[in-house]
Each structure stands twice: as structure tokens, then as C-alpha cells.
Amino acid sequence: MKKKILKIIGVVVLLIVVLLIAAPFFLQGKIEKIIKDKVNNNIEATLDFASADLSLFSSFPNAKVTINELVLTNNAPFKGDTLFASKEIALDMAITELFKDSSEAIGIKSLAVDGAALNIIVNKDSIANYDIAKKDTAEPVVSETEEEGSSFTLAMESYKITNSKIVYVDQTSGMALALTDLQHSGTGDLSLEKSELDTKTNALVSFGMGGTNYLNRNKVGLDALIGIDLKESKFSFLKNEALVNQLPLVFDGFVKINEDNQEVNINFKTLSSEFKNFLALVPEEYTKSIENVKTTGKFTVEGKLDGIVDETHIPKFSVKLNSDNASFKYPDLPKAVTNIFINAAIDNTTGLVEDTSVDIKKLAFAIDQDRFNLNSQITDLMGNTKVKAHLDGNINLANISQAYPVPADLNLKGILKADVSTAFDMASIEKEQYQNTTTSGTLDLKDFEYNSNELKNPVEITTTSLTFNPETVSLNDFQGKTGKTDFSAKGTITNLLGFMFKDEKVKGDFALNSNTFALNDFMVDEVEETEKSTEKTEEKQTVADEKLKIPSFLDATITANANTVLYDNLTLKDVKGTLKVKDETATLSNMTTSLFGGKMAFNGEVSTKNDAATFAMNLGMNQFNISQALKGLEMLEVLAPVAKIIRGNLNSDISIAGNLKDDFTPDLATISGKVLAELMQTELDGKQEKFVTALSDKLSFLKPEKLNLNGLKTALTFDNGKVAVKPFKLNYGDIVMNVAGSHTFDSKLAYNATVEVPAKYLGSDVTKLIAKIDDEKLEDLTIPVTANIGGNFTSPEVKTDLTSGVKNLTSQLIEIEKQKLIAKGKDKATSVISDLLNKNKSKTDSLTQDDAKTSVVKDVVGGLLGKKDTTAVKKDTATSTKQETQKEAVKEILGGLFGKKKKETEKDTTKQ
């Protein structure tokens, strides 16, 4: 019998175990569907999760449902935004709850949330992203497994939220609240109409409003016993203690949730009145450890919130802070801060956000003999903020770090004296209507040191004297130095309030004087991270690059006068002109300086706004010493390498633009522009004549010592690493050379030189031929000889067409001699014809004038052509014989002109 009972019990236990193992496989799909249906059919948003796991063992006799990777996503107008997300949500419930229909209420005993993020946003149209419940105007959508009226009930014994964060952003007021590293837990029976919830909370709190951060990851702790009245929707603070950093507060009151608003009535105050409580309000990163700080005096915080919260109202509130003759001293610092008086209040009497005000009736402290006093009234804090303030004091800034743990890199020093009153509103500052502001008083600062990540070296300010006027600030004296640079300035600042409160740039007009101004002192170390990867490891290297940066906070016109300006390896003397600095761009106008033994005027601009600094300049150089300029200006050597062989002075106008390297020297690969140049009082450098001698080696008559460069003018353009030179003329004594072509920045040459060579330099054959011709005009005869110059400046290659030139000239001279001989023959023929005319005169005396002319012409032409006049023969045989004699004489002359021999002529006559 006993064996039978044990057998039955064993079978029952086995069935239960099998059921517990198998149930999750049958129920899991149902659980996921129930959760998604219940939520998605009642909200204007989308709920999804990776999985819903069911376990019957880990929490037996309860069931445990775990929802993994849950995400709740908004619809319009926040479409795609995540309202809520969590890594894991675990719910414990009775096993019987799993077998209920989806129309029945399901009770949850405990809840655990891990890795949650709740993002609450109220946009500029006052629409909240958490308002996702479906409106009553539409009938609820009921799924196949759900009936109207179904809901969850909460019967939790405990809950906890770990490693989570809550972010609240109200775009209408500019308020932002963030709770990070949130750890929260609570116990209580929320199924009762009235219950108590015991909670513990720790988090880091950040809070900002209107662009100002008031809390930055401040530690907050809260132990609160909260009375819950579900019927009245009222939550009462029964026994509560909060810790802000290390400031303990107790509070009581309630929050009641109504249909259209929430009622708030909360009172709070400090538990202790020690002044150490005030230090606890300051973020720990600034106060460091305050456990061992010795304090005297009282400090109290007391406040009240009372009112409603709705779309247009916040609770009215009043917070008062008071301290009377307190002091504190850090154990590891030599000085104490004493005579501390604080009397301040933050109030809102209307419940409207913009009506918040801050009234600092007194804020004062002393360090040794130094003192500081401030009073201020700030109204309409969240609207058009209005400020009235007065401060006065005399402080050795170095004493602050002797009494208070300021950041080590702040390195405060200097003596500050101030007596300033101001009144302004933010709307006037934003609109730059500074005439609506009033500021008066004086401020003096001596021996101050300023550090900035936009400056390479600290700026030591020897003296600063400011006079505050209603609309402007007069800079009476400003003297200091940084690195090798010294400076003194005077001027006017037109927007100091905008610079201080609206992050505007410093605007004004200044006169700047300097004995030495080194641009290198304004170089900035920029740190870049480069990654080097191998097959096994990845390592990061930090590389520091120095770059010159034009300060971004300046919008000013500066009249500059510097005795010496150091720029790269250049030393500029007597620098004067106007400098306009705006938007990280410096515009220079009417700038002049002494440089390389001459004068230079320049206008243009330099900008460091982009990754690569850029420049565009017009330079006017007068009487520059060429050798000095080549040593100091790499750009000049690149543009005109021929200048290496020249000693003398240079006048030039240069227009140039391009990028600057990190040291503010031109990046030659990017520059373009044009140059007009004139050489003055020049001679060749005997050690650098290879470029010229290469040409004289090919054309021996070109003597380098006869090259005259005085007054040489040329123009060139350059771009993409190439310099194009417009045609210019050189003189080698009485030889003229016309040159044009181009070269690259690495001195590769491509030039054509046309040399007008006088014939006398072309050898003995040519000179003898000229002498034989015996013509004075040939003494000025020249021929063009072309020289092609290639290679590079240090090893030029020259090719000429001198041989063909000489050949052409010889042909020209032979033609000239031929034409000259022809001309002589014509002169002789003319003389003969004249004699014939005279001899025939007697024969024609008896004829008429016309007949006489006709007769003579016929005789002459006939004689020349070898024809006989038969009419004349018939008339007078004696005359015909005489004409034959004349014909023979003409033939003799023409034979001489065309090179025929006399005996050939005689032979022909005999034959006739």
C-alpha cells in the first residue's frame, strides 16, 4: 500500500515538473500577443520588443515574464523618436495569471527595469511626446483576444529601476533636466486604495535653463516615504530626506494630479545651519573634498513651492539663502575666505515662468585685505531678462587660488580694482541696441596673465584701464606681452555686454603699437589623433601641429604701428597700416614696411577660417636689394630664378593668392598671380653666371660682361606651378635679344630667345663679302638667330640656328651684289643712249620736232634690238653706215653688263 502511494506521488510530481517545463513553450506566444495587443491598441505610438520569455522555475511558485530590448517609438509630430527603451523588463506574477483570458485583469507582483532611457520632449508648439493615449472620440480597437474594459492591475510588493536615465526637454522655456546613472527602488502594495511607498533614489542631476547650466552632474540622493491615495490621485511626502551633493534637505508636502493640472505644495529647508552646507551646493569637481574644510558662521536654505502646474503655469515659489559673517579654510591651502555675507532670494509670485526673479541684496567676501562686494536685481529671468548690478572691490587674483581650490591650469594672477554699475535688458543686447543700456565706472587690472587655447603663449597684461560709459567702453591703456611680442593699445569697445552675455565678438576700434611683434607667438598647438593598425593591434598616436590662428573673438579695426615685425625668417621694419579683423580674417590696407633695403606697400587679406589658411595680396616693392630678397623670400626665387645671378635693386608689383602653410608661409603648389618687375642698378654675379655663359658658349659674340640689365622691365603670370613670362628685351652691347617663355616652380626651363645679330659678328666669309660689296648700309645689317633654352636653371641646355642664319645671310649678300651690278649696267646704258641722242641731233634739225623724236627713238631701239630701218637706208646710205657703228657700241656696253667677252662680240660683228 505504501509503495502504491509513493508511486502515485512520484507520478504526480513528475507530471508537475513536465508541465512546468512544457508550459512556457505553449504560453510564450500568448504572452507576447497579450502584451503587444493591450498596449498598441490603446496608444498613438508603436511598442515592440525582441522577445518575451516565460520562466516557471526561477520564481516558483510565481511565473516570471522577461521582456527584452523593448522600444516605444513616437508617431507624428515626433515620428521616429524613441520615447522609451529598455534592455530588460522583468515581471513576477502568480502562475494562475497566465491562464486568464486577455479580457481579464492581470496582476503583477513585482517589476524590475534595467538599462532604461525615458526621453520626454515638449516642443515649441507645447505638444508633449508622452501624450500618446488614444482619444475618447474614437472607439477602441479590440483584438480577437481582447474585450473592452480589460486592464492591468498593480499588486506589486517591490520594484526597482537600475542603470537608467530620464531626460526632460521643454523647448518652450529652454529648460532641460537630466537624471543619469539612476538607481531607484521602492516597496509597497499599490493594489490598495491607500498605501505607503518606501523609496530610495540616487542619481546625477544636470539642469539648465535659458542657455545657462545651473547643475552639472550633481549628486542627488532621496529617501522618501510617500503616501499614496489612488482615489484622490494624491502623493504625500511623509518622511523625506534629500542630499544635493553634500547638502542635506528635509521636505514635506504633497503633489495631487487632477484631470487638467497638478497641484503642488512642498516646503523644504536645511537640516543643519553650518556654512559647509553652502560649499556642498558647489559641484564637487570645483570644491574637491570638503569633509576637512573648517567653517564658521551660519548658512540656511529655506523654500516653498505652492500652486498648480499646467500648460501655462508653474508653482509659485520662494527660495531664500542666507549667511552672516561666515568663513571657510581648506586644510591644504594657506589662506582663508572670511567675512562672507550672502543675502539672496529666488522668487516667482505669479506662477508664470517669465516672472522668475533673483535678488542678490548682498554678496561679499574677503581674503586677507582684499574685498569684494556685489548686489544685483535680475527680473523677468525667463523672459526679457533685466539686470541691475553694482560691483566694487580690490582683489589680488593670486589670493583666490591660495584660498580656494581653483583648477590648476587657471593660474590666476594680477591686481583687480573695479567700481562698476550697469543696467540692461537682454532684448536690447540681442538687437545690439546698446543705447538702451547704461554702464558706468572704472576697472583697472595690472600684472594679469591670460591663457587661451587660441594662443600659443600666455598673455601677460601689464596694465589695463577701462572707463565704462553709457554705451561704450574706453580702453584708456592696455599694455602687455606674449612670447617675444610686446604691445600697447588704446581704443573703444562698442559691445562689451554683448561679448560678456551673448557670446558676441569684441567689436571696437583700436590703435596698436609694438616695438617687436612676432607672428610665431600666435601659433596654436593643434592635437590630432592618427590611428595605426596592424594585424594584431591598433594603437593611437597623438600628433601636435602648430598653426597660426587669427582670434575668432575679434571684430575690430586696428591701426597698427610696429618698429619690428618677425614673420618666419623675415624681419620687417617700420610697419604701419590698418588691420581689420573679423570672422578669423585679417584685412590689411595701406600697409607699409621697410624690407630688404627698400620699401614695400601691401594690401589684401589673410583668413584662418577654413582648414587651410588662405591669402590674397597686392605687393608693391621699391628698391629691394635682390640678393637679400632671395635669401628671405622663397617665393621670389621660385618666380624668378634668374635673379640669382643678379646683384642690384628691384622694383616690382605683385598680385598673388593661394593657401598658407601652418607657419603662414605661402604654399607654392597653390599660388597664382602676376608680377611686373623692373631691375635697377644691376650687374651679374660672377659666381652665378652659368645660365648666361651657357648661351655665350653657343653664341660666342654674346659677352656676359656686355649684358645690360638696367631698366629691364618684364611681366609674368603664374598658376599651377608654372610661370609664364611675357616677351622682354635684353641688350648685349649692340646686340638685342628678345626673350619669352616659361619655367616651372622647380626651375625647368622652356624659353625662346631671338638674337638680332649684326652681320659683322658672323665670321670672315661674311665680312669679306660685305667689304667686296662696299656699301655703308650693310654695316647695320642683322639677322635673327633663335636660341631654344631648356633643361633647368643650374644645368641649362641651349640650341641655336646660327648655321642656317649665316647661310641665309650669304645668299642675301650675293643677291645684293648682283642687283648692284645690274644697277651699274643700267647707268652705263643710260649714258650711251644720251650720247646717241646728242649725235643724232644734227640729222634731225631739218625735221619737225615730232619726226625728230621718232627718228632718234627708232635709231636707238633698232640699234639695241639689231633691226635695220629700210626707209632710212634708202634715203641716205651714209647715214645708215653711221647708225651701224652706233649699234655696235651699244652691244659692246650690254655685253659688258651681262658678262660677255669682247672678242666674242668682235667675232659676231665679222660674221655680219
State how far the Cα of 496 lies from the Cα of 473, in Å rounded to an integer.
Answer: 7
Average pLDDT over residues 576-604: 86
pLDDT over 90 at 802, yes or no: no
pLDDT over 50 at 489, yes or no: yes
pLDDT over 70 at 186, yes or no: yes
Which residue do the cell numbers 509597497 mark? Answer: 188
| 362-366, 370-374, 746-750, range with the lowest pLDDT | 746-750
What are the CB-based long-range contacts (under 8 Å, 24+) for 461-465? 461/414
pLDDT tens digits for 841-877?
554 454 444 454 445 444 544 444 444 444 444 445 4
pLDDT over 70 at 440, yes or no: yes
pLDDT tens digits for 706-763?
666 666 777 778 888 888 888 877 777 777 878 888 888 887 888 888 887 776 676 6
Cis peptide, bond prior to residue 458, ω within 30 of zero: no
Joined together, the cell numbers standing for residue 569 give 625668417
- The Cα-based distances of 55 to 31, 287, 501 in angstroms read 12, 50, 59
Q: What pLDDT score was predicted for residue 85?
A: 93
Q: What pLDDT score was predicted for residue 583?
A: 85
Instruction: Output 855 or 567, whichever has higher pLDDT.
Output: 567
pLDDT over 90 at 370, yes or no: yes
Percent of the chain with pLDDT over 90: 20
Instruction: Output 61 or 392, whichever has higher pLDDT.
Output: 392
Joined together, the cell numbers standing for residue 316 give 509659485
State how far the Cα of 663 lies from the Cα of 656, in Å rounded to an integer.
Answer: 18
Q: What pLDDT score was predicted for residue 617?
A: 85
Average pLDDT over residues 17-46: 66
Average pLDDT over residues 34-57: 79
pLDDT over 90 at 436, yes or no: no
Q: What pLDDT score was predicted for residue 650?
A: 67
pLDDT tens digits for 77-94?
898 899 999 999 888 877
Instruction: Output 320 or 12, whichever has higher pLDDT.
Output: 320
Q: What pLDDT score was predicted for residue 798?
A: 82
pLDDT tens digits for 444-481?
999 988 776 666 788 899 999 999 887 788 999 999 99
Q: What pLDDT score was predicted for residue 507?
A: 83
Q: What pLDDT score was predicted for residue 626?
A: 66
Q: What pLDDT score was predicted for residue 438?
A: 86
Instruction: Output 903 or 705, whichever has higher pLDDT.
Output: 705
Instruction: Output 278 or 873, whichever has higher pLDDT.
Output: 278
Which residue do the cell numbers 520662494 mark? Answer: 318
| 243-257, 450-464, 499-513, 515-529, range with the lowest pLDDT | 515-529
DSSP state of 471: S
pLDDT over 60 at 508, yes or no: yes
pLDDT over 90 at 415, yes or no: yes
Strand pairing report for 370-379 and 386-396:
antiparallel
Instruction: Output 212 or 675, whichever has higher pLDDT.
Output: 675
Q: What pLDDT score was predicted for residue 643?
A: 66
Strand-pairing partners, residue 253, are 237, 266
pTM value surpassing 0.85: no
Percent of the chain with pLDDT over 70: 66
pLDDT tens digits for 153-170?
556 778 899 999 999 998
Residue 612's contacts (CB-CB under 8 Å, 6 or more residues apart) are: 659, 660, 667
Average pLDDT over residues 271-300: 78
Q: CB–CB of 185/157 below 8 Å? A: no
Of all helices (H) and strands (E), which one includes residue 554? strand 554-567
Residue 383's contacts (CB-CB under 8 Å, 6 or more residues apart) are: 353, 354, 355
Q: What pLDDT score was predicted for residue 283?
A: 62
Of all helices (H) and strands (E), which one includes residue 22? helix 2-40
E-strand ranges in 397-501 read 415-425, 438-450, 459-468, 473-482, 485-493
- Residue 490's pLDDT band, with cuts at 50, 70 and 90, is very high
pLDDT tens digits for 809-835?
667 667 666 766 676 666 655 665 555
Domain ranges of the chain: 840-911
To the nearest whole number, what is the mean pLDDT of the chain? 76
Instruction: Output 540 or 412, whichever has higher pLDDT.
Output: 412
pLDDT over 60 at 24, yes or no: no
Give the CA angle between residues 13, 17, 19 to the nearest 5°.
Answer: 115
DSSP state of 311: S
State how far the Cα of 199 lies from the Cα of 629, in Å rounded to an integer.
Answer: 81
DSSP state of 666: B
Q: What pLDDT score was predicted for residue 778?
A: 57
